[in-house]
Amino acid sequence: MTRDKMFHAHDAARLDDPARRRHLPVDRLVAMVGPRPGETIADIGVGLGLCLLPIVEALRGEGRFLAVDCQEEMLARFREKIAAFPYAEAIETVLTPAEANASRVEGG
Q: Give every CB contact of residue 14 below 8 A, 6+ residues apart in sequence.
A: 20
Between 48 and 21, the higher pLDDT residue: 48
**From 3.40.50.10540, 2.30.31.70, 3.40.50.150, 3.40.50.720, which CATH number describes the 3-95 domain?**
3.40.50.150
For residues 27-38, average pLDDT:
92
Would you state the pLDDT for residue 22?
A: 75
- Write the CA distances from 68 to 19, 22, 23, 42, integer angstroms: 24, 24, 22, 7
Q: Using alpha carbons, select from 32, 88, 41 the residue that is nearest to residue 63.
A: 41
Residues 101/72, Cβ–Cβ less than 8 Å: no
Amino acid 18: pLDDT: 74
Contacts of 92 (CB under 8 A, 6+ apart): 64, 65, 66, 67
pTM for this predicted structure: 0.78
